[in-house]
């Protein structure tokens, strides 16, 4: 397969046409912006204007705080700047706010652009809308939370009576004055109660494993 970027037979015109095609494809499918080293916006494509509901004139010269939703902690943006200033690529899901207050999620990637001396001259941002994905994730989280509520009911309404049954069975078995048939019934009851107790414990463990790591960490820190 021909590599357009490494093919030395390409003329400058060929490369410019290829780069133009790349830009057109990106502009059609992604939200793009370019900032100077201080974070001031020097370029936005039409899709950025469409989703932010700001005009190009309103965005140029501003920084991306103009679409800040205040949803994320300041530490995330410090990490962003520490990363891109070091010359590395930064990527994360970011909630932003349009001019009319509409909130929207973007899969955001920021790439530092260097000159021939390795000095960062610009930052190129490529973003794709992910509201549908975030909606699905939210629905999944709600589903898991509802299952956890059910689990709590199972633990409270089933395990406690099971423990009482096992305690009573233990007392009856220690009594020692039971005929063979009753003793067998009690043994079967003990086995069934113990199996049910094990099942509810496994269910608890399974539900805990379903929870997102972020929720588990949050609960453990409380």
Q: What is the pLDDT of residues 82-138, one digit of tens each?
A: 999 999 999 999 999 999 999 999 999 999 999 989 999 999 999 999 999 999 988
CA-based angle 28:30:36, to the nearest 5?
Answer: 115
As a whole number, mean pLDDT of residues 160-167 equals: 79
Q: What pLDDT is attached to residue 222? A: 46
User: What would you measure as the largest C-alpha separation in the chain, in angstroms?
Assistant: 101
70 pLDDT higher than 80: yes
Q: What pLDDT is attached to residue 206? A: 73
Higher pLDDT, 56 or 165: 56
Rounded to the nearest 5 percent, the helix, strand and coil shares of the chain are: 60, 20, 25
168 pLDDT higher than 50: yes
Q: What pLDDT is attached to residue 51? A: 94
- Specify the pTM: 0.64
Q: What pLDDT is attached to residue 45? A: 93
CA 153 to chain centre: 29
As a whole number, mean pLDDT of residues 217-222 equals: 49
Higher pLDDT, 93 or 139: 93
Please state, in angstroms and rounded to a whole number, the distance separating the CA atoms of residues 95 and 131: 9
198 pLDDT higher than 90: no
Q: What pLDDT is attached to residue 195? A: 84
As a whole number, mean pLDDT of residues 139-154 equals: 80
Q: What pLDDT is attached to residue 91? A: 96
Please state, in angstroms and rounded to a whole number, the distance separating the CA atoms of residues 166 and 129: 55
Q: How confident is the model at residue 1 (pLDDT cuts 50, 70, 90)?
A: very low
Q: What pLDDT is attached to residue 72? A: 96
Q: What pLDDT is attached to residue 209? A: 72
Q: Could you tell me which of 109, 99, 125, 118 has the C-alpha nearest to residue 36? A: 125
Q: What pLDDT is attached to residue 14? A: 66
């Amino acid at each position: 397969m021909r590599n357009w970027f490494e093919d030395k037979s390409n003329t400058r015109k060929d490369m410019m046409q290829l780069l133009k095609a790349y830009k057109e494809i990106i502009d059609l499918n992604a939200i793009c912006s370019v900032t100077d080293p201080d974070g001031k916006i020097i370029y936005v494509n039409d899709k950025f204007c469409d989703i932010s509901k700001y005009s190009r004139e309103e965005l140029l010269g501003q920084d991306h705080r103009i679409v800040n939703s205040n949803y994320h902690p300041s530490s995330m943006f410090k990490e962003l700047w520490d990363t891109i200033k070091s010359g590395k690529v930064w990527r994360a899901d970011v909630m932003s706010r349009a001019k009319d207050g509409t909130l929207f999620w973007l899969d955001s990637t920021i790439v530092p652009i260097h000159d021939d001396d390795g000095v960062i001259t610009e930052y190129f941002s490529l973003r794709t809308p992910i509201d549908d994905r975030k909606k699905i994730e939210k629905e999944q989280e709600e589903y898991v939370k509802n299952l956890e509520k059910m689990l709590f009911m199972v633990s409270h309404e089933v395990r406690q009576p099971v423990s009482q049954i096992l305690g009573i069975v233990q007392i009856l078995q220690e009594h020692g004055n039971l005929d063979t048939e009753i003793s067998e019934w009690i043994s079967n009851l003990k086995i069934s109660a113990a199996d049910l107790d094990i099942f509810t414990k496994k269910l608890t463990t399974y539900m805990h494993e379903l929870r997102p790591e972020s929720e588990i960490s949050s609960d453990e820190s409380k």
